[in-house]
């Protein structure tokens, strides 16, 4: 790891020399007089006011909402421009970001494919090489698709023979994607385009003549980014034909809420279809024998009670990762010759660790587990017998281990909170890893301490949390601290490297804390369910308890403590700050779900009922109303300094959530602490965001925290 100490300390000295001046800045705010309407809904006999309902209208088509958003952006930018260190932060982030980043390679045919970003390219470039250490050549460069970098590569699938590539393009951060096909040998793009797709792969048939994918009907003009997405269809596209000729392979019109995904087995024989109804990993399973010209679908699972993730097959035996009778998951086998559930066999049983992923490579199972929220990877033979553990380069997060059953090698990435990413080639037969690429970041991990602590939540539940900071800080309660959380949808927050949370925030002397809240998947399905629906308050209690632990253990104090989260994490921040406003010095709720009574009426929102419940249900309505951030803003309260973030093309969590929350907070604020909203243009929920835009937004967040946490008050950073 190269690290130029002299350049760093010169940079740090220049950076922090402007901090003192910032403290003297007196930034007074005058918020827009946001129009209120007399909108009252009666839900299960309860009157619920919604005075900012009009802010739900699409900002791109409503002149009134667009004018409101523009005025809010003007106020926010004026505020941020008065913080002297904002420019220096942006320059420092640009320096930190300027390093080559690689993805783990994918092997198809006799070629290797991987992404690389030279450093400041807005989008990563797809490369191809004839050997793993061969000279790479550019295959797709998304930076040429738009001048501002807002057209991104959002999906990729390569045929088994490595001759053709299907790829999806998304514009301005939207979840909508258009698929195109590239002939790899000739570098020519086929003329057809597959439109109106979301969250789909492209699953090639063995002959490479086409692939399966899912799509929606074209939505009505003007509601593309807000209307509920219904009537998903599984289709087959044959190369060289228009999308209008695509065959609908499976669709149940009597169930417009069903969602489809598929896999083609490595031998090309079976199409395995998964049907879901929400965000929970619980699905029905169908299988079709593609070797039979008119093969019918056979239903293997006819309910939505459990997860069944297809891993691979051995002839007529299909293998699935499942939580059936195993909340931490296990691997099972289903013989198509006797597919009844009572005949299912267990290959790898549940263990005390959470089974995250299973690769089936070189006819061996490579199983990625979470043990106390860090990665452990084990190898089993085809009978499920344990062979050995993969020796990882440290304590942190590992991901990858994909490939075909006949491959003899695989690749994985590894990082931790204070350890930048490295990519390794793993030789399966010899059980050895070879470094293929290491990110050379201007950051010295040896200066930092990362440890895992256990704290107690409100109901007595023990919750783990990672805490990272410079080794030289003093536990005197004066450290600026950033508490980041998510807590939902069975998603695990593992220790991973982040430029702004590690290389920037820690270098500034900040403490970073990341708790593993209930609702996540760190400890299996029971941990997830303990933070859902009527139990969702557990997640907020866990987060608040993490803040209290940091204060009680002298890391920080309320006026020095910031909280951050995005999407479901934005809801987390919104709920925590409305329930305990005195506990935090600054809040960063990003693209959050803030109106818990109406989220299910927009785009993919109906799917989140799995985690949140629905206002249509009387009991769930009362639970939702009790914590819904928008509905729990109380006039006359002093709320922490808040910078809300959203984007005009967010068609996952529509920006109306953040708009309404910002308007309510600004009207209610009873002290001088700022309540601002930043509305990014030509951006969405976060995916595909250009590097330049990411740097600008992160610089704004860090400048906001530096100013509002009074980070130079003790002069610690001038050392």
Sorted by sequence, the CB contacts under 8 Å of residue 108 that are 6+ apart come out as 158, 159, 160, 161, 162
Q: Whose structure tokens read 């009134």?
A: 64
| pLDDT number for residue 95 | 95
* 69-96: average pLDDT: 96
Structure tokens at 328: 């931490």
| pLDDT number for residue 502 | 77
Burial class (CB in 10 A: 0-12, 13-18, 19+), 251: middle
Going by pLDDT thresholds of 50, 70 and 90, the confidence category of residue 27 is low
Backbone angles phi, psi at 104, to 5 degrees: -70, 135
- The radius of gyration of the chain's CA atoms, rounded to the nearest angstrom, is 26
Coil vs helix vs strand at 572: helix
| φ/ψ bin of 425: left (φ > 0), alpha (ψ from -120 to 50), beta (otherwise) | beta
Length of the chain (residues):
719
Indicate whether 706 pLDDT > 50: yes
| pLDDT number for residue 26 | 54
* 498-521: average pLDDT: 93
| pLDDT number for residue 11 | 42
For 146-162, write each residue's pLDDT tens digit. 999 999 999 999 999 99
pTM of the model: 0.94
| pLDDT number for residue 68 | 98
| pLDDT number for residue 293 | 85
Structure tokens at 326: 């195993």
3-state secondary structure 122-168: CCCEEEEECCCCCCCEEEECHHHCCCCCCEEEEEEEECCCCCEEEEE
| Catalytic site includes residue 567 | yes
| pLDDT number for residue 448 | 95
Least confident of 122-126, 176-180, 219-223: 219-223
| φ/ψ bin of 460: left (φ > 0), alpha (ψ from -120 to 50), beta (otherwise) | left
Question: Which strands form 386-390's sheet, in the order they lie side by side?
Answer: 354-361, 364-371, 374-380, 386-390
* 401-410: average pLDDT: 96
Going by pLDDT thresholds of 50, 70 and 90, the confidence category of residue 35 is very high
Determine the number of helices (DSSP H) and then strands (DSSP E) in the chain.
11, 40
Q: Whose structure tokens read 């390093």?
A: 99
For 672-683, write each residue's pLDDT tens digit. 999 999 999 999
| pLDDT number for residue 500 | 86
| φ/ψ bin of 595: left (φ > 0), alpha (ψ from -120 to 50), beta (otherwise) | beta
For 412-456, write each residue's pLDDT tens digit. 999 999 999 999 999 999 999 999 999 999 889 999 999 999 999
Residue 171: how many other CB atoms lie within 10 Å: 18
Contact 531, 538 (CB under 8 A): yes
The residue annotated as part of the active site, out of 416, 567, 658, 678, is: 567
Sorted by sequence, the CB contacts under 8 Å of residue 196 that are 6+ apart come out as 176, 215, 216, 217, 218, 219
Coil vs helix vs strand at 102: strand
Contact 176, 694 (CB under 8 A): no
For 476-486, write each residue's pLDDT tens digit. 999 999 999 99
For 246-291, write each residue's pLDDT tens digit. 999 999 999 999 999 999 999 999 999 999 999 999 999 999 999 9
Indicate whether 191 pLDDT > 70: yes
For 538-556, write each residue's pLDDT tens digit. 999 999 999 999 999 999 9
Going by pLDDT thresholds of 50, 70 and 90, the confidence category of residue 7 is very low
3-state secondary structure 243-293: HHHCEEEECCCCCCCCEEEEEECCCCCEEEEEEECCCCCCCEEEEEECCCC
Going by pLDDT thresholds of 50, 70 and 90, the confidence category of residue 501 is confident
For 589-615, write each residue's pLDDT tens digit. 999 999 999 999 999 999 999 999 999
The residue annotated as part of the active site, out of 167, 600, 631, 685, is: 685
The per-residue DSSP string of 75-99 comes to HHHHHHHT-THHHHHHHHHHHHH-S
Residue 331 and residue 329: Cα distance in Å, rounded?
7
Structure tokens at 458: 């409100």
Burial class (CB in 10 A: 0-12, 13-18, 19+), 214: buried
* 487-514: average pLDDT: 93
Indicate whether 384 pLDDT > 90: yes
For 634-657, write each residue's pLDDT tens digit. 999 999 999 999 999 999 999 999
Least confident of 169-183, 298-312, 497-511, 564-578: 497-511
| pLDDT number for residue 3 | 27
| pLDDT number for residue 713 | 36
Percent of the chain with pLDDT over 90: 92
Indicate whether 57 pLDDT > 60: yes
Residue 267 and residue 206: Cα distance in Å, rounded?
7
Contact 108, 160 (CB under 8 A): yes
| pLDDT number for residue 716 | 39
Going by pLDDT thresholds of 50, 70 and 90, the confidence category of residue 222 is confident
For 104-114, write each residue's pLDDT tens digit. 999 999 999 99
Q: How high does pLDDT run on average in the chain?
A: 94
For 99-147, write each residue's pLDDT tens digit. 999 999 999 999 999 999 999 999 999 999 999 999 999 999 999 999 9
């Amino acid at each position: 790891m190269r690290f130029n100490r002299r350049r760093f300390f010169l940079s740090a000295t220049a950076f922090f020399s402007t901090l003192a001046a910032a403290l003297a800045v007196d930034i007074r705010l005058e918020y827009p007089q946001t129009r209120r309407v007399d909108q009252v809904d009666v839900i299960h006999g309860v009157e619920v006011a919604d005075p900012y309902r009009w802010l739900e209208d699409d900002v791109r088509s409503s002149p009134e909402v667009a004018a409101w958003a523009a005025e809010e952006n003007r106020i926010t930018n004026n505020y941020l421009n008065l913080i002297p260190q904002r420019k220096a932060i942006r320059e420092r982030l640009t320096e930190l970001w300027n390093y080559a980043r690689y993805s783990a390679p994918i092997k198809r045919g006799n070629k290797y494919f991987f992404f690389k970003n030279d450093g400041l390219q807005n989008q990563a470039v797809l490369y191809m090489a004839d050997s793993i250490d061969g000279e790479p050549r550019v295959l797709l460069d998304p930076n040429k698709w738009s001048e501002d970098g807002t057209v991104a590569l959002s999906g990729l699938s390569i045929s088994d023979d490595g001759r053709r590539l299907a790829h999806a393009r998304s514009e301005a951060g939207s979840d909508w994607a258009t698929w195109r096909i590239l002939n790899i040998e000739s570098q020519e793009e086929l003329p057809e385009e597959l439109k109106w797709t979301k969250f789909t792969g492209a699953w090639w048939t063995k002959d490479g003549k086409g692939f399966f994918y899912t799509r929606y009907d074209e939505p009505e003009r003007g509601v593309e980014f807000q209307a509920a997405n219904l009537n998903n269809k599984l289709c087959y596209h044959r190369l060289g034909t228009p999308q209008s000729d695509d065959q609908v392979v499976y669709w149940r019109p009597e169930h417009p809420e069903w969602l489809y995904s598929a896999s083609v087995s490595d031998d090309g024989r079976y199409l395995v279809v998964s049907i879901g109804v929400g965000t929970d990993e619980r699905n029905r399973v169908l299988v079709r024998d593609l070797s039979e010209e008119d093969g019918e679908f056979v239903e293997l699972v006819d309910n939505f009670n459990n997860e069944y993730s297809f891993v691979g097959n051995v002839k007529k035996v299909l293998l699935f990762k499942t939580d059936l009778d195993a909340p931490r998951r296990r691997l099972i086998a289903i013989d198509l010759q006797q597919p009844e559930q009572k005949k299912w066999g267990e290959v790898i049983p549940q263990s005390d660790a959470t089974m995250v992923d299973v690769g089936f490579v070189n006819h061996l199972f490579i199983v990625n587990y979470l043990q106390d929220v860090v990665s452990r990877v084990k190898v089993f033979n085809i009978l499920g017998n344990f062979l050995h553990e993969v020796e990882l380069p440290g304590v942190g997060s590992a991901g990858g281990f994909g490939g075909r059953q006949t491959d003899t090698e695989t690749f994985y990435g590894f990082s931790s909170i204070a350890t930048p990413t490295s990519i390794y080639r793993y030789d399966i037969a010899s059980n050895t890893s070879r470094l293929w690429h290491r990110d050379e970041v201007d950051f010295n991990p040896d200066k930092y301490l990362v440890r895992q602590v256990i704290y107690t939540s409100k109901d007595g539940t023990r919750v783990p949390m990672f805490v990272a900071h410079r080794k030289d800080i003093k536990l005197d309660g004066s450290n600026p601290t950033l508490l980041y959380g998510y807590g939902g949808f069975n998603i695990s927050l593992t220790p991973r490297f982040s430029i702004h949370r590690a290389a920037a925030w820690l270098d500034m002397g900040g403490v970073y804390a990341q708790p593993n809240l209930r609702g996540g998947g760190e400890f299996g399905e029971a941990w997830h369910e303990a933070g859902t629906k009527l139990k969702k308050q557990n997640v907020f209690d866990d987060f608040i308890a993490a803040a209290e632990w940091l204060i009680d253990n002298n890391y920080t104090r309320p006026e020095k403590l910031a909280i951050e989260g995005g999407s479901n994490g934005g809801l987390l921040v919104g709920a925590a700050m409305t329930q305990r406003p005195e506990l935090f010095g600054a809040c960063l709720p990003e693209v959050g779900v803030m109106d818990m009574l109406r989220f299910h009426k927009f785009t993919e929102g109906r799917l989140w009922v799995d985690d949140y419940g629905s206002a249509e249900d009387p009991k769930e309505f009362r639970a939702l109303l009790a914590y819904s951030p928008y509905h729990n803003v109380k006039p006359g309260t002093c709320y922490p300094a808040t910078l809300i973030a959203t984007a005009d093309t967010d068609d996952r969590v529509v920006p109306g959530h953040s708009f309404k929350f910002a308007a309510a907070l600004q009207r209610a604020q009873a002290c001088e602490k700022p309540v601002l909203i930043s509305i990014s243009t030509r951006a969405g929920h976060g995916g595909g965001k250009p590097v330049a835009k990411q740097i600008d937004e992160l610089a704004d967040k860090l400048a906001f925290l530096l100013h509002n946490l009074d980070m130079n008050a003790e002069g610690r950073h001038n050392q």
